[in-house]
Structure 1
């Protein structure tokens, strides 16, 4: 049986837009015709799960049909968050196995903003890790440590080390040629002082070469993304019939952002080839 592509959206810092990114990737995959499973490991908040529950309710109430993901049952997220680690691991393994057996082409896992046993397990299973970060040195600090005087890059930081560990675990489990494609996307961009952004981009490029990630485009901080969340919709779902909010040229730009993200991931128009599931850019 062909193994599904496993995409993990991860960053140990909260507020970077992981769930927004995960939702849009899942919807983008489904609109491209790929059966997709989701696992929401942000057990207390469960934003991705809530989004798709909203989607099911809104489409049923309004007589529309939109693609829906497979979502294995993790039970009560808040209760599971308080459970012993061995119970959490067992529930995750059961959900992951269910997703694999469901015949999907991709499994998308949203992780919490912190270092947890479930986040580590998910990262070690990833074929591709997508890390959103805001355009600030506050977010960069999780990826790399800079000199406070010169702003020169000193060394990789905690999240880079976590991804390195996940890559080692994958190599041990699947052979030395197994790899994880890591894409860092600049998310929630706002108007920033040009010199500060240029400094940040220079450090990103240096760190990317050092620890092995690619840099791609994310999603800007647009009102439309927040407006559509209560309906369980994204800009990719909007049509002549599906317009719960007024449509403007800004929504066209938002849809292009979403397409650019999929292109950066190597997933736009991807086909099933061989045993690796969907193609991912190297």
Structure 2
């Protein structure tokens, strides 16, 4: 049985891909799964630094079998092949811009997760929106890239399915017109580009603070947890459940 491949992708930086990826990795490790991870961000390498911080933490933490790709020289495909034979799940973090390695990773995805900050600026990577009518005019460049890579995967593996999840990330806890408008636009867009829209993480400082310690909300225990932390940990659990991963069934 080959590993289930989860790719985190968005051609706009600052969407929270690495933070969400690390939390999903920690949650899957907690479920007892063998998890491999690959960082394709040749320059930034945020997920790699997160895993490095995790291995240096002053508490015993589960960590993935991690590979950082530093050059576009074929090592990605070698690492992917090794992990696909050894792990239950492979999590791939892609750079926040278009790249050959990023496109290749998208063609490997069984589950594609696109974190999207709740703003019209971030929505622009998925769709062109008419500023007057707030109607979607057409899918944007990243949506077209995903469509092409899905077609490539299905050409290589007839019958293959890519579950594309657009994750509304850094959500405000206040009901606002912008939030409602985004909800309506994403609902309409999902029908055009073939994705599912799910809620991700709220706008919480704790997610940023945990990075330097290599921790995730899944690692917080007992007295460390405030009510806000409990809510944040539940956000992670809700996301993993919404991903509907076959490796967590049965």
Report if TM-score (shorter chain) is over 0.5: yes
In structure 1, the partner of 2:190 is 208
Structural RMSD (CA): 1.7
In structure 2, the partner of 1:33 is 32
C-alpha separation in 1, matches of 2:210 and 2:180: 32
In structure 2, the partner of 1:252 is 230
Deviation at 1:196?
Answer: 2.1
C-alpha separation in 2, matches of 1:89 and 1:146: 38
Structure 2 unaligned residues grouped into runs of 5+: none
Which structure has the larger Rg over C-alpha atoms?
A: 1
Q: Residues 137, 193 of structure 1: CA spacing in aligned structure 2 closer, same or farther, 3 A cutoff? A: farther
Higher share of residues assigned strand: 2
Q: Secondary structure of 1:72's match?
A: strand
1:21-46 C-alpha deviation (Å, 9 max, x unpaired): 11111111111111000000111111
In structure 1, the partner of 2:9 is 10
In structure 1, the partner of 2:74 is 90
Deviation at 1:271?
Answer: 3.5
In structure 2, the partner of 1:111 is 94
Q: Does 1:69 align with 2:51?
A: no
C-alpha separation in 1, matches of 2:11 and 2:213: 28
C-alpha separation in 2, matches of 1:182 and 1:42: 21
Q: Does 1:187 align with 2:169?
A: yes
Q: Residues 89, 216 of structure 1: CA spacing in aligned structure 2 closer, same or farther, 3 A cutoff? A: farther
- With normalisation by structure 2, the TM-score equals 0.94
Deviation at 1:206?
Answer: 0.8
1:62-121 C-alpha deviation (Å, 9 max, x unpaired): 3x32211112353xx3xx2xxxxxxx15121111122123x2100000011000000000
Q: Secondary structure of 1:139's match?
A: helix
Please point out which of 136, 146, 156 is paired with 2:139.
Answer: 156
- With normalisation by structure 1, the TM-score equals 0.84
Total equivalences in the alignment: 250
C-alpha separation in 2, matches of 1:203 and 1:34: 36
Q: Is the 8 A contact 1:89 1:118 kept in 2?
A: no
C-alpha separation in 1, matches of 2:180 and 2:172: 14
In structure 1, the partner of 2:84 is 100
Deviation at 1:53?
Answer: 1.0
Please point out which of 148, 155, 159 is paired with 1:165.
Answer: 148
